[in-house]
Structure 1
Amino acid sequence: MMEEFIHALKNRLQQPLPGIRAQALMSPQLEQDARFKLQPRPDARQGSVLLLLYPQQNTIWLPLMQRPQYQGHHSGQVSLPGGKWEPGDTDRLQTALRETEEEMGIPRQGVQILGTLSELYIPPSNFVVLPVVGYMPSAPAFVPDPAEVEQVLEVPLPDLLEENFIRFTNTPPGSLYKIRTPYYPVEERVVWGATAMILSEFVTLVNEMETRHHLLKRQS
């Protein structure tokens, strides 16, 4: 069943994506209209993140990471592994694999690329991010870089697929404003902003697949 889902997901990623309609479901209320009217600046940097799927406890999981505190836009936030494109990267697929290897210690050669989701422009950091979806046939052994990762957070996909999993806050961490903001609660942490919007498109895509039903059951 797991292989059937991964095969179906790879095929689905080659078709038209949910895009903005799905990303907007997890956008802060203040930004829902303005964000998607913004065009990337001419000097916008290119980057990518990796949604790394793997089997564990009879279902699919994916890792997030909490970043350490630092002087920057995403200090202390929960994010997907990834970062900016470097001249040595052949493309942004390789960027996602390289960054995940550097941040989480997962060898890039062990990851099968299934496809990509829709690009997302992140105005505060001026990045155009390409979400890459990858798969490993077994759970990875995480070796996080302490300079990049404070903690690895493993998330079962069935949790994200639950309709009542989404919460709301008026004070998202790191924000200077009180904004009604949807988020995913993961190990008592708030997953919001660009990361939540990327996950939202993936969740929407999976929920529309016919082979999703077996993912809703996992062993305790």
Structure 2
Amino acid sequence: MGVAVEREGLPGWLQPVRDAAERVEPQQLSRFLPPPVGGRRSAVLMLFGEQAEGPDLLLIERARSLRSHAGQPSFPGGALDPEDGDPSGPGPVNAALREAQEETGLDPAGIQVFGVLPDLYIPVSDFVVTPVLGWWRSPSPVGPVDPAEVASVFRVPVADLTDPANRARLRHPSGFTGPAFLVAGQVVWGFTAGVIDRVLHYSGLERPWDHSRVVRLSEDAFGLALGEPDRVQDPGPELTPGG
């Protein structure tokens, strides 16, 4: 049995996110859309909370020893298991909550699922990803459950994500350029940054920022993310100024 999506009862600041999720089209979120067949089904939890400092978003830093997307800040989440249910039904919501609990120790009972974004695709890992949106109505303690999978768990203020001083475009060694957030001592990039960027934009929370500001991802960080340890020489700074 799946967890029901409940759209009412959200704080006022979160309602534009809910409304954007209900009207956004897949191609507005990413240029990488799922193939007609194939791909590994997975789900992530985009969990919004609120502390004394204001609204925030829960992220994890993936362990550097993982086979794919190693060392990257990301949403909690992972592959669907058979017990999660139908991938076209309750499966993604169940998987997102289960994986978030397994990775961070959070209590799913305190989370209100208020929306589900369209399925997206990560070509480098062949994942078809369903982003699940949650409101952390009753927060619980969180931290890495298994250090072999999760290096750290952290909450990023939404004000920091929308601060133009923390926004940039990141250039990969592959030549691809995408959005990035320089927050909480981390560089949020790749799929996670792309989803955050689009959600902020279509919900009206985005503030004008300098799209000409470009930073470059180090070859080491790129190699870790691709699961190519031979490319990793030195776990040094992830970013360098670039043009």
* Same fold (TM > 0.5): yes
Q: 2:12 aligns with which of 4, 25, 28?
A: 4
After TM superposition, give the deviation of residue 5 of structure 1 in Å: 3.1
Aligned residues: 192
Pairwise mapping of residues 73-92 of structure 1 onto structure 2 (< 5 A)? 73-90=68-85, 91-92=91-92
Confirm or deny: 8 A CA contact 2:110 2:140 kept in the other structure.
Answer: no
Secondary structure, aligned partner of 1:75: coil
Confirm or deny: 8 A CA contact 2:17 2:199 kept in the other structure.
Answer: no
Q: Which amino acid aligns with 1:188?
A: G
Confirm or deny: 8 A CA contact 2:103 2:150 kept in the other structure.
Answer: yes
Aligned to 1:128: 128
Residue by residue over 1:86-107, the C-alpha shift from the partner in whole angstroms, topping out at 9 and shown as x without a partner, is 0000311000000000000011
Normalised by the length of structure 1, the TM-score is: 0.76
The yes-or-no answer on 1:197 pairing with 2:198 is no
Tell me how far apart the structure 2 counterparts of residues 87 and 107 of structure 1 sit (CA, whole Å): 21
The yes-or-no answer on 1:113 pairing with 2:143 is no
After TM superposition, give the deviation of residue 152 of structure 1 in Å: 1.1
The yes-or-no answer on 1:206 pairing with 2:200 is no
Tell me how far apart the structure 2 counterparts of residues 208 and 155 of structure 1 sit (CA, whole Å): 15
Cα distance change, pair 162–64 in 1 and its aligned pair in 2 (3 A)? same
Question: Unmatched 5+ residue regions in structure 2?
Answer: 1-9, 86-90, 208-243
Tell me how far apart the structure 1 counterparts of residues 21 and 167 of structure 2 sit (CA, whole Å): 27
Cα distance change, pair 95–39 in 1 and its aligned pair in 2 (3 A)? closer
Tell me how far apart the structure 1 counterparts of residues 134 and 102 of structure 2 sit (CA, whole Å): 16
After TM superposition, give the deviation of residue 142 of structure 1 in Å: 0.4
Confirm or deny: 8 A CA contact 2:17 2:203 kept in the other structure.
Answer: yes
Aligned to 1:47: 42
Give the structure with the larger strand fraction.
Answer: 2
Confirm or deny: 8 A CA contact 1:169 1:183 kept in the other structure.
Answer: yes
Normalised by the length of structure 2, the TM-score is: 0.70
Residue by residue over 1:11-35, the C-alpha shift from the partner in whole angstroms, topping out at 9 and shown as x without a partner, is x1563115433x35xxxxxxxxxx5
Confirm or deny: 8 A CA contact 1:13 1:115 kept in the other structure.
Answer: no
Aligned to 2:180: 183
Tell me how far apart the structure 1 counterparts of residues 27 and 163 of structure 2 sit (CA, whole Å): 20
Pairwise mapping of residues 29-178 of structure 1 onto structure 2 (< 5 A)? 35-36=31-32, 39-40=34-35, 42-90=37-85, 91-145=91-145, 146-171=147-172, 177-178=174-175
Cα distance change, pair 79–152 in 1 and its aligned pair in 2 (3 A)? same
Tell me how far apart the structure 1 counterparts of residues 42 and 149 of structure 2 sit (CA, whole Å): 16
Tell me how far apart the structure 2 counterparts of residues 87 and 81 of structure 1 sit (CA, whole Å): 19
- Higher relative CO (Cα under 8 Å, sequence separation at least 6) belongs to 1
Cα distance change, pair 195–9 in 1 and its aligned pair in 2 (3 A)? closer
Tell me how far apart the structure 1 counterparts of residues 175 and 24 of structure 2 sit (CA, whole Å): 31
